[in-house]
Structure 1
Amino acid sequence: MPRRYEIDDAFKHAIKISSKGRRTVTTEDFVAELAKRNWHWGLREANRWIEIYVNTFSDVSTVEGDARTFLLFNPNGGL
């Protein structure tokens, strides 16, 4: 049975860190991590959760659609 705290855990495990230290999450990676924890969401549902519950990542997608990319930002200046 899926548990609510597993969603937060899946999001944390979906974060990728670049060589420059930037942290990004793609909707596809988040959905894949959710599936490992027995949560079966589509891209749209995953995007909705990120928009509602995660306020430290902003959408930096370069294409239209549900396959989005989110970047950790510093609200006190700079990315």
Structure 2
Amino acid sequence: MPTPVEPLRLLLLAHEPFWYALLRDCLTAPGSNVILLHGENWDAFSAGYANERSTVLLTTPDLQPRTGTCLLPTVVLLE
């Protein structure tokens, strides 16, 4: 019996709306098993997702969580 695949969660921290639009457009492919969540504050995400498997944080430098407060794999988005 196949094991169910957990969807990949991308947590996006960015003030600029173009990051969300760009990522959303890239992730709308049929069969995509990715959930894109957008916010402007790590504290809003940390309670629900800080320890979740299959979760990656995408953040702009100005919203990057303080060192030691986020253990998720993190990608810093640069222009």
TM-score, normalised by the number of residues in structure 2: 0.30
- Name which structure has the greater RCO, CA cutoff 8 Å, separation 6+: 2
Q: Which has more radius of gyration? A: 2
Higher helix share: 1
Instruction: Specify which structure has the higher proportion of strand.
Output: 2
